Structure 1
Amino acid sequence: MKPDRPPAKAVRLATLTCALALLTGCSAMPSSGPVESDILSDAKSPATNTLGYRIVNVTPSVIDALATDQPPPLNTLIETATAADAAERIGPGDTLQVSIFELGSSLFGGVGGGTGSGVATQSTGSQSMGSVGPLPAVSADNLPPIVVDATGTVDIPYVGRLQAAGRTPAQLATAIRGGLHGLSQNPQVLVRIANDIANQVVVGGEVRKPGRQELTLAHEHLLDMIAIAGGEARLPQDLQVYLTRHERTGSVALTTLENDPQQNVALVPGDRIQVTYQPKTYSVFGATSKVSVVPFPISQLSLAEAVAGTGGPSDDRADPNAVFLFRYEKPEVATRLGLPVRPGAAVAPVLYQLDMMKPTSYFIAQHFAMHDKDLIFIANAKLNKFYKFFNLLSTLVSPTMSAAYLAK
């Protein structure tokens, strides 16, 4: 005896009831994020938009406004009154070599002399052809190395204590010569910095040869000193350069430093250079192939390259009208965009929207520069939840429809 089959009418009723129940819960279907209408309505509601973010459609005028947002040159961040010839000035801790040339009687090397009319050195005499009489010998004496003390002064025999710090070697030589006036016959003085401690900078971080480096009369700039320190040890796009001078610090990306001569400032004694590893990344959420954090593959990355690098909007889920970029802008940038800024706010949240259904948007996206920690969100299509609903409904209804067919 065959078992009783359920009436086809009852099967259809059960199917309809199930469909209505699923349709009622359609809004509760899982989703990777809000749709465009949710984002737009949220921005207009003070109750939900507690950050006060504004939505800006990306247009050529927006690109122009953002293009003017360039980092200030380091020479405007680092104020200094240091003289241009600072690298050749003496400072505390320097070791000096002082040479004194004397004519005739010598304070430092004994009495020079000799016969004939030649010029003698080291207290010896010599005679040249055609001479008509003896000339006094010239002695050259090197004083022991002299270290400039913490007060910036040095002691010179027969002269006394002199201020050395802040002077050039030539200026100190003139001062020594003046001190020897009346004690030595026509003394000539040469001063050389044998060990330059004061005119150094410190280079650290991601360079191959960190340590102290001496400044020279070549007036080294920031890039010069990084090269002298062996060059960068990582990819340039991942490095940030910090310059500290007189207790003030400025920073610039290494790639910007390489491309902008204004950032490549001349160094002065006491500067500290730190090259730090700070890889730039951006995040991608929403209707894309994969939610991910993506490192910048190149130093200057556009929005078009960033979206393409993640596979772009999903064909079956994404709404190409609603590609959003979340960013905290500086207040002055938000002002240029015509957006209100909260008084005293350090940053202004801005939500940029790009409609990828318009061909012009692809041109614009090529000139929209990505920033570190930008967040890209590709909204789901409005029918995405219904698509998921009908897939689920099909899974549930197919066995029931088969049973109804067999019940006929």
Structure 2
Amino acid sequence: MLKRLKKLSVQATHRPRGDRAFRLSSMGVAVVLCSMLGACAVAPGMRMMVSGGKTAQRAPQGAGAGTDAAGTPPTTQVADATPATPEVAITELSVDVVRRMQEERVEKQQEQVKLLSPAPQPYTVGAGDVLQIVVWDHPEIAAAMGSTQSQQSTRPGDPTSGFVVDQAGDVTFPYAGTLHVAGMRTEEVQKHLSAALGKYFVKPQVTVRMASYRAHEVYVDGEVRNPGVVAVNDVPLSLYEAVARAGGFSDTADQSDLVLVRDGVTHRVDLTRMLASGTSPSRLYLKPGDLLRVVARDENDVYVMGEVNKPISAIPRRTGRITLADAIAQAGSVNSSTADAAQMFVIRGSLSGTPQVFHLDGRSPVAMLVAKEFDLQPKDVVYVDGNGLVRFNRVLTLLIPAINAGLTAGLVAK
């Protein structure tokens, strides 16, 4: 093709001055040729632009670790900065890096368990609770509870027969008057009531127990079979018990991502890792007013793009875990014809935080072990870059039609 272009250009120098069409077509071919040579440096298509030469900031992991034979720190690549994005260091994935990240997650999980598993507190009376109060040897006082004492409530919302604690936290009882009982345990209410009745009866024998627990509740929402309100009673309510009362996890639930909102603070609970580390979820007790939401798996998907057979939004397994190998497998594996196995990237982060970029050289068999153990996080982006020959071939595919058109115009003019 280059010989043909050279021949046309030589012919153009010997053509008469009046043959403008041929000269213009030859000039067009020359311009297209220059564009083709320049386009090889800026091949079209999406790709990860990286540069090297910066020293890694990671601390050594052992004697001799983190340095080469000369004792100098290793170098790492960085993602090239643009006017809209900052320069981000690229972390090379290895067995040691993946193991260290797993250990850090275990430590954070243990700290979270300690934070969310205080000793359960005894149940205290609150507004809306129904108390059953019996004064022995004084059956006339039982009439204060009304004629519904032995009848069943006709509607689910009706309170059980007894003395209802009003919204101010008070209860009214014959002879004793109005007592403020909110925040007390049943045995404390019994002592205060016995003291109040002692003014009218000789050593009154009083029994107080809860007839209906209605004051304290937790809310379970999201991917459970029966979302709604779960009442808290005198038995401490664990996280697992709350999910069980809500019907258990649905088929679309992500068991690794439970959102617990307590006192205005949001905590992310990973049941899958807790069980894997030997920590029982029954150690996490809920408090009245807690909100527990089970996230759906399709909300925690990851994006796989680039030179894969089927770009896809990969969904975690039922346990909520998804590794780099899982995501690539769901995308139909890398494209063996166009992918560069040495250029596999994971982009993590958001606009509000510091982004992270991980790089995996998939040419080594050990890299597959790393990919199998490297856990992805929700909304991660997995990108597989293309090889240089494919990008050059795409340049030719775009430019050859223009070159052929120029050559055809030159031959027609000739």
Under a length normalisation based on structure 2, what TM-score does the superposition of the two structures give? 0.69
Secondary structure of the residue aligned to 2:388 is coil
Instruction: Tell me how far apart the structure 2 counterparts of residues 38 and 383 of structure 1 sit (CA, whole Å).
Output: 22
Q: Does the 8 A contact of 2:169 with 2:180 survive in 1?
A: yes
Residue in 1 aligned with 2:339? Answer: 318
User: Is the radius of gyration larger for structure 1 or structure 2?
Assistant: 1
Q: Aligned partners of 1:45, 1:68: CA distance in 2, in Å?
A: 30
Contact map agreement 2:344 2:385 (CA 8 A) in 1? yes
CA deviation vs aligned residue, 1:74-98 (integer Å, no higher than 9, x gap): 5566697xx73433x2112212111
2:264 to 247, 251, 264: 247
CA distance in 1, matches of 2:256, 2:208: 41
SS at match of 1:213: strand
1:284 matched residue in structure 2: 304
Q: Tell me, in whole angstroms, the C-alpha distance in 2 between the residues paired with 1:199 and 1:34.
A: 54
Query: What's the RMSD between the two structures over aligned residues?
Result: 4.1
Q: Secondary structure at the match of 1:65?
A: helix
1:386 aligns with 2:403: no
- The 1:247/1:309 distance shift into structure 2, 3 A limit, reads closer
Asked whether the 8 Å contact 1:43–1:49 carries over to 2, the reply is no
- Counterpart residue number, 2:22: none
Once the two structures are overlaid, the 10-residue window that deviates more, 207-216 or 319-328, is: 207-216
For the residue of structure 2 that corresponds to 1:68, the secondary structure is helix
Residues of 1 paired with 2:201 and 2:36: CA distance?
110
The 5-angstrom pairing of residues 261-272 of structure 1 reads 261=280, 265-272=284-291
More helix per residue: 2
In structure 2, the partner of 1:31 is 45
Deviations 1:25-72 (A, max 9, x none): 334553242466699999376666842310111122211231134354
Shift, 1:311, TM fit: 2.5
Instruction: Give 1:99 deviation, angstroms.
Output: 0.7
Q: Aligned partners of 1:75 and 1:151: how far apart in 2?
A: 35
Indicate conservation of the 8 Å contact 2:49/2:79, yes or no.
no
Q: Which of these residues, 236, 250, 264, is aligned with residue 219 of structure 1?
A: 236
Unaligned runs of 5+ residues in structure 2 are 12-25, 55-75, 146-161, 408-414
Q: Report the CA distance between 1:258 and its aligned residue.
A: 5.9
Closer, same or farther: CA 86–10 of 1 in aligned 2, 3 Å: same
State the TM-score, normalizing by the size of structure 1.
Answer: 0.70
Out of 181, 185, 197, the residue aligned to residue 214 of structure 2 is: 197
Are the equivalent residues in 2 in contact too, given 1:287–1:314 (CA < 8 A)?
yes
Alignment partner, residue 352 of structure 1:
358
Contact 2:255 2:294 in 1 (8 A): no
Q: Which moved more, 1:391-400 or 1:65-74?
A: 391-400
Q: For residue 63 of structure 2, what is the aligned residue in structure 1?
A: none
Identity of counterpart residues, as a percentage?
24
Q: For 2:78 and 2:84, how far apart are their aligned partners in 1? A: 6
Query: Any stretches of 5+ residues in structure 1 without a counterpart?
Result: 1-5, 110-139, 330-344, 402-408
In structure 2, the residue matched to 1:295 is: 315
Equivalent positions of 1:6-405 (< 5 A) are: 22-27=36-41, 29-34=43-48, 43=78, 50-70=85-105, 72=109, 84-87=120-123, 89-102=124-137, 106=138, 109=140, 141=142, 143-144=144-145, 145-181=162-198, 183-237=200-254, 240-253=257-270, 255-256=272-273, 260-261=279-280, 265-277=284-296, 279-298=299-318, 299-328=320-349, 347-389=353-395
Evaluate the alpha carbon distance shift between residue 189 and residue 12 of structure 1 in structure 2; reply closer, same or farther with a 3 A threshold: farther
Amino acid at match of 1:222: L
Deviation at 1:395, TM superposition (A): 8.1
Q: Which of 316-325 and 140-149 deviates more?
A: 140-149
CA distance in 2, matches of 1:228, 1:321: 49
Distance in 2 between the 1:85 and 1:287 partners? Answer: 56
- Pick closer, same or farther for the CA change 1:29–1:175 going to 2, 3 Å: closer
Pair 389,162 (structure 1): closer, same or farther in 2 beyond 3 Å: closer
Higher relative contact order (CA 8 A, sep 6+): 1
How far apart, in 2, do the equivalents of 1:194 and 1:321 lie? Answer: 68
